[in-house]
Structure 1
Amino acid sequence: MKTELFLADTRGHANHGWLDTHHTFSFAGYHDPARVQFGVLRVVNDDIVAPGMGFGTHPHANMEIVSIPLRGALRHKDSMGNGGVIRAGEIQVMSAGSGITHSEFNASTDEDVNFFQIWIFPNKRNVTPRYEQKKMDLLKNQLTQVVSPSAGDAGVWLHQDAWFHMGVFDEGRVFDYKLKKSGDGLFAMVIEGKFEADGKALERRDAVGITGTDAVAFKTLSPDAQILLVEVPMTGNPSG
């Protein structure tokens, strides 16, 4: 088993006033050749956007883009004709495929919005762009699948053999995550609280990438601890 730590205070950071953002992997003005991606996981951005502010219309292609609001609400509009608000407790995926444009703004005029934006390299290029949004029903003390490769499975789906799970746990809970495919890696990020992953203590917004195993053991070290797990192939990037 091999582990790589991505501690919260080592992430790239930029504060533009309207946007306070942290980058686990190289993005925009932050570049670290040792932190470009984890397998096909390319971007994990932790964004806080001021009231009424946001990202104007901009293009994407050949990327699977997952947005997870943690606090507040995000207003979305895209060139496919989709428009609406994504709130904490919901999840959104866009398959940019052959090309789309979209915008994202804080839907509130008096509260900020905090959300994860996660980019995954797809397993096929130039697919027809698509959009999906769902509510996440997270049950206490168990992992809930929120992203998968299959339209018939739980959560939203994307064009990659990747699975996302989230969970909120009481202190002292012990659980295992069993990887679905041999050779995959597991990226685990603590959203809130404290966890132990493979014997390593992780605090809020710390993350670890784990490879070379078929299961990872976790233990919660604080009450109401929340975690995000992302299982991805470590090879196979048609966009690179």
Structure 2
Amino acid sequence: MLRVRKSQDRGSAEHGWLHAKHTFSFSSYYDEEHMGFRNLKVINEDIVEPAQGFPTHGHRNMEIITYVLEGALEHKDSLGTGSVIRPGEVQIMSAGKGIQHSEFNHSKENLLHLLQIWIEPSINGKEPSYAQKDFSACKEKLKLVVSPNGEEDSLSIKQDVKLYRGIFARSDNLKFTIMPSRHVWLQLASGSLTVNGQQLAQGDGLAMSDEKELLLEALEGNCSFLLFDLC
């Protein structure tokens, strides 16, 4: 079963400094047919105006992944972390029993474009943690960037989820095998892509259950996406 979530059908929010698209129900946007997919609960595509951002706020019992598409994100948290996340890097913050953080557009001139993902952890109440890794030097078309055990030099997450980053040039293709009882969500960040013959455009998502494999092919250059392998 393949089910497409078209970009234009997502929820939206305009705050002046923030222009957001919500794949699933989030904040004031509610759609009972789109409450998440398995333990994947949030995919927000955010564009933040220069020198603007999210002031200090709290989270608990959520695995939060940030993937920057353009610009630079400045992060500070109650663990004492201070960092800047740029394209090619992946950030994961395990909120655990509670964490406070702020996120700002590091530039005074350029927009910040990012995807923020929330995944429910397998166990609540753990100590919060933060990690960040640069994958920009990796030339693999499909690279594992997040996994439960940190395999293949990926970041660790407190859930049975594997997250792959895909970067394809025009006509690049790849076969991805789906193990029994697993489910896949694919979020297209840029470009256009066919998945098992289904064409996707920038911002589209695709839910897959009861499928054995995915046949991916880029229709143009600079095609990037995130692929979630979920329990």
- Could you tell me which residue of structure 1 aligns to residue 190 of structure 2? 192
- Could you tell me which residue of structure 2 aligns to residue 213 of structure 1? 211
**Root-mean-square deviation (Å):** 1.3
- Could you tell me which residue of structure 1 aligns to residue 225 of structure 2? 227
CA distance in 2, matches of 1:220, 1:88: 20
CA distance in 2, matches of 1:141, 1:130: 28
Deviates more, 1:3-12 or 1:222-231: 222-231
| Match runs of 1:134-213 below 5 Å | 134-137=133-136, 139-140=138-139, 142-179=141-178, 181-213=179-211
Deviations 1:205-230 (A, max 9, x none): 11101011232111111122112111
Q: Amino acid of the residue matched to residue 205 of structure 1?
A: G
The runs of 5 or more residues in structure 1 that have no matched partner are 234-240
1:23 counterpart = 2:22: yes
CA distance in 1, matches of 2:175, 2:40: 22
1:33 counterpart = 2:32: yes
Offset, 1:190: 1.4
1:93 counterpart = 2:103: no
TM-score by length of structure 1 reads: 0.92
Q: Amino acid of the residue matched to residue 41 of structure 1?
A: L
The answer to whether the Cα contact below 8 Å between 1:139 and 1:168 also exists between their aligned partners in 2 is: no
Offset, 1:51: 0.9
1:49 counterpart = 2:48: yes
Number of residue equivalences: 231
The answer to whether the Cα contact below 8 Å between 2:87 and 2:136 also exists between their aligned partners in 1 is: no
CA distance in 1, matches of 2:153, 2:176: 17
Deviates more, 1:35-44 or 1:218-227: 218-227
- Runs of 4+ aligned residues of structure 1 deviating over 6 Å after TM superposition are none
Offset, 1:13: 0.6
Deviates more, 1:143-152 or 1:45-54: 143-152
Offset, 1:139: 4.4
TM-score by length of structure 2 reads: 0.96
Q: Amino acid of the residue matched to residue 224 of structure 2?
A: Q
- Could you tell me which residue of structure 2 aligns to residue 124 of structure 1? 123
Deviations 1:32-91 (A, max 9, x none): 000001000000000011111111111111100000111001111111111121111111
Q: Equivalent residue of 1:145, what SS?
A: strand
CA distance in 2, matches of 1:200, 1:4: 10
Indicate the percent of aligned positions where both proteins have the same amino acid: 37
CA distance in 1, matches of 2:151, 2:214: 26
Offset, 1:153: 3.5
Q: Equivalent residue of 2:229, what SS?
A: strand
CA distance in 2, matches of 1:170, 1:87: 21
CA distance in 2, matches of 1:189, 1:152: 22
Offset, 1:138: 5.8
CA distance in 1, matches of 2:205, 2:187: 4
Q: Amino acid of the residue matched to residue 75 of structure 2?
A: H
| Distance 1:81-1:139 versus aligned 2 partners, 3 A rule | closer
Deviates more, 1:82-91 or 1:60-69: 82-91
Offset, 1:151: 3.0
Q: Equivalent residue of 2:8, what SS?
A: helix
The answer to whether the Cα contact below 8 Å between 1:138 and 1:168 also exists between their aligned partners in 2 is: no
CA distance in 2, matches of 1:225, 1:139: 15
- Could you tell me which residue of structure 2 aligns to residue 75 of structure 1? 74
Q: Equivalent residue of 1:188, what SS?
A: strand
The runs of 5 or more residues in structure 2 that have no matched partner are none
The answer to whether the Cα contact below 8 Å between 1:141 and 1:169 also exists between their aligned partners in 2 is: no
